[in-house]
Structure 1
Amino acid sequence: MRKVCLFIFNPVSGDTPIEKEELEEMVRVKLPDFETFIVETSGSDDIDRIQSAYKKTRPELVLIGGGDGTVKLVAKALRDTKAPFCVIPFGSANGLAKCLGIHTIEDSWEAIRCYTIHPIDAIQINDELCLHLADFGFNANLVKNFESNDGRGMIAYIKGSVSEIFTTEPKPYKLKVDGEEKQVMAKMLVLANGDQYGTGALINYKGKMNDGKFEVIALNPQSTKDYIRMIMAMFRGDLEEQNSSIFYRCESCEIENEKEVDFQIDGELMGKPQSINARIEKHAFQFVTSKRFSRYKKNLS
């Protein structure tokens, strides 16, 4: 008997959205051992439709075709099912997929062939789910500007970052990290479950997505030289060693956003919350990962 696969697909994800007919052909070729049911998101009643499709099909595998927002949508809808997910990176940046070792669509098909499943943590932030990265400041400002402009995609994102990185002012934050109070000044304050942004910038190289902890990272570069060092460190993977960064590893954190700075979770703007309460949910989801993820985690152990 063929296995059942539920494919949740965002038809408007990415710079060059894929047509459903092309997707159906791709599934026939790449998943010959599965009977696959495709559900397109529409932006209306998606969670109910995904849950209904899951109950009807009872799949052994759930594929998620889209970017970080689509993955988060499906995770919220199927949170209590423990179904294994595999990301097909159709989005513009696909930061979460890259954290799982999936950089290309072909990586996804190879991951399914090998079928290595890892438990992955999540961060509960107030009433919202975070699988990847959340932040105040620089990047949240960039997401806000990105959404308000017509340009989309990685090039538009990088162009916007050039001006944003030099104009963001440091802001004060009060933190309570695992019950211990801290005060920091930061141009960007990050809550990290994943290790990198979609650009490939390594914000949290030593972090693990399945260790029952997350990282709170305060970045406060002062000079042009600090900025250059910070950017280079993000691509080398040694940001934690820079003087302009502070790292905390924790299971819970409360943050007071005194200056009402913009906040985003997994690429979705969350306004300017006066405070947030974050806590880890260890092994909240099961994800099919690539060999790259397995090798990377072994090296860090």
Structure 2
Amino acid sequence: MAKKCLLIYNPISGNDSISGIELLEMAETRLPNFRVKLWETTGENDEDKILTKYKQFSPDLVLIGGGDGTVKLVAKCLKEVAVPMCVLPLGSANGLAKCMGINDLTDSWESVRDYDIHPIDAIHINNELCLHLADFGINANLVQKFEQEESRGMLGYVKNSLSEIFGTEAMNFRLKIAEESVKIKAKMIVIANGDRYGTGAIVNCKGVMDDGKFEIIAFNPETAEDYVRMTMAFIRGNLDQVEGVQTWVVEECQLDNLEGAEFQIDGEIMEPIESITAKIEKHAFRFLVGKSFTTCHTSPD
């Protein structure tokens, strides 16, 4: 009996150059041993509908065509069923997919062919799920600006970040890890499961998505020289060696937002919040990953 694959497609993702039918035809070609069923999100009661569709069809694999928000939505809905998933990156930036070694559809179909299922951690931030990156400060606005631009890559990042970097004052935060309490002054604090933004900026040099830990990274560039050094470090992937950057590797923490900095999770701006608690869930999901995926080389639990 042929296996079954559910293709969940968001028709209003950032990349509108491909239709659901075209994606279905690609999937049927590349999954000859699967019966593929297409289902499109509508923005109305999608959470309930996704779980209902899963139960009706009982797929062996779920393909997710969309951006980071779509991936997070589907993963959240299917959390308890532990079905293998694969990202078809159709969003504006696709940072989460890139952290999984999937930069484009070619990588997606290669991961389907190789069928390399890997466990992926998740961070629970208050009552929200975080698969990729969350942050306080300048990036909450910066990422939105970047994703609205036609330009991509580091040039777009530099263009949009200049006014944010030099026009934003550092804010005060308090980080609590077990019995330790640290006062931090920063323009941005990142809570990182993945290692990079969709821009290609490598923000978390220690980032491994299956090690049962996450990173807290504080940035406080004060001069143009600081900014240039950090920008080059984003490209090289050695940000942890730059002065003005602090990193903590944790499993659980509390972070107090003492001056009301803006906050985003996986690209979604959140309501104003005074404090968050963050805790890792090791190997929360199962994803097909690309060849460039970074693993901690430990056996799954």
Amino acid in structure 1 at the alignment position of 2:125: I
Give CA deviations for 1:175-219 in whole Å, capped at 9, x if unaligned: 102341111011010000000000111111222111111000000
Q: Which runs of 4+ in 1 moved over 6 A?
A: none
Q: RMSD across aligned C-alpha pairs, in angstroms?
A: 1.8
Alpha-carbon deviation of 1:70? 0.5
Alpha-carbon deviation of 1:151? 5.2
- For residue 39 of structure 2, what is the aligned residue in structure 1? 39
Give CA deviations for 1:84-114 in whole Å, capped at 9, x if unaligned: 1110111111101110101110101100111
Retained in 1: the 8 A contact 2:211–2:296?
no
- For residue 9 of structure 1, what is the aligned residue in structure 2? 9
- For residue 289 of structure 2, what is the aligned residue in structure 1? 289
Aligned length: 295
Retained in 1: the 8 A contact 2:206–2:215?
no
- For residue 115 of structure 1, what is the aligned residue in structure 2? 115
Amino acid in structure 1 at the alignment position of 2:285: F
* 2:67 corresponds to 1:77: no
Distance (whole Å) between structure 1 residues aligned to residue 66 and residue 80 of structure 2: 21
Amino acid in structure 2 at the alignment position of 1:220: N
Q: TM-score under structure 1 normalisation? A: 0.93
Give CA deviations for 1:243-270 in whole Å, capped at 9, x if unaligned: 1100000011101111111100000111
- For residue 261 of structure 1, what is the aligned residue in structure 2? 261
Give CA deviations for 1:106-130 in whole Å, capped at 9, x if unaligned: 1011001111111110000000000
Alpha-carbon deviation of 1:145? 5.1
Alpha-carbon deviation of 1:146? 6.3
Alpha-carbon deviation of 1:163? 2.2
Where in structure 2 are the equivalents of 1:1-301 lying within 5 Å? 1-143=1-143, 154=152, 158=157, 159-293=159-293, 297=296
Distance (whole Å) between structure 2 residues aligned to residue 61 and residue 206 of structure 1: 30
> Which deviates the most, 154-163 or 74-83?
154-163
Q: TM-score under structure 2 normalisation? A: 0.93
Distance (whole Å) between structure 1 residues aligned to residue 143 and residue 233 of structure 2: 22
Amino acid in structure 2 at the alignment position of 1:247: T
Amino acid in structure 2 at the alignment position of 1:269: I
Give CA deviations for 1:13-59 in whole Å, capped at 9, x if unaligned: 11434222222222222222211111111111001110001001111
Pick closer, same or farther for the CA change 1:79–1:121 going to 2, 3 Å.
Answer: same
Residue segments in structure 1 that go unaligned for 5+ positions in a row? none
Retained in 2: the 8 A contact 1:119–1:283?
yes
How many percent of aligned residue pairs carry the same amino acid? Answer: 54
